[in-house]
Amino acid sequence: MRWSTEDIPSFVKERQYVDTVLLPLLPVEFGDGIRQSAAMTEFITVMTAELEKQFRGRILLAPSYTYLAADEESRPSSEELNKWIESMKKEKLKHIILLTADSSWKKAEHDLDAFLIWMPLVPLENLEASYKKQVISEQIKQLLPVIMDIWKKEGNS
């Protein structure tokens, strides 16, 4: 379900069925990395929207977590993000899936109390519309079993 006035009422009504949050992590940069930041935003937004369509009865697509991109040495702070995760878990949303194209989260993965999926960025900007669709649906096909596995492993509600 999307974070919209249209879907949220049904989320509230069907709470016992929705136990998963999908949270896109989007790095923001205004300097040299601005192109990359935009490309990642576009890619991850398309991916999460598509996943929401597939699993809309069990997944809540949260508004993206945006943060200033970390430079080479440092890594993004997991503290703030863990606060988000904590408040979701408090609401009985027990499976939390983070989707990002920012590889720096890989280093912080163990500090996060959630399931992190990192996908290498697929540049969509120069692709023809029909080819773009094909690339995305190919990627989604690979992701579906990953998510179904999370449900199986972490147990059903």
Question: Could you say which DSSP state residue 111 is in?
Answer: G
As a whole number of angstroms, the distance between CA 23 and CA 74 comes to 22
Of the pair 34, 146, the CB lying nearest another protein is at 146
To another protein, the closest distance from the beta carbon of 59 in angstroms equals 8
In terms of CB distance, is 29 or 42 closer to another protein? 42
Q: Which tokens sit at 77?
A: 């702070």
Of 109 and 149, which CB lies nearer to another protein in the complex structure?
A: 149
CB of 17 to another protein, least distance (A): 6
Three-state helix/strand/coil letters over 39-55: HHHHHHHHHHHHHHHHC
Q: Between 82 and 139, whose beta carbon lies closer to another protein?
A: 139
Count CB neighbours of 88 within 10 A.
20
Nearest residue (CB) to another protein, 17 versus 107: 17
Sites of contact with another protein (CB under 8 A): 10, 14, 17-18, 53-58, 133, 144, 148
- Enumerate the H helices of 3-128 as residue ranges: 8-13, 34-54, 78-90, 105-108
Q: What tokens appear for 36 in the block?
A: 């990359």
CB of 11 to another protein, least distance (A): 10
Strand partners, 61: 22
Smallest distance from the beta carbon of 49 to another protein, in angstroms? Answer: 11
The distance from CA 53 to its chain's CA centroid, rounded to whole angstroms, is: 13
Shortest distance, position 53 Cβ to another protein, whole Å: 7
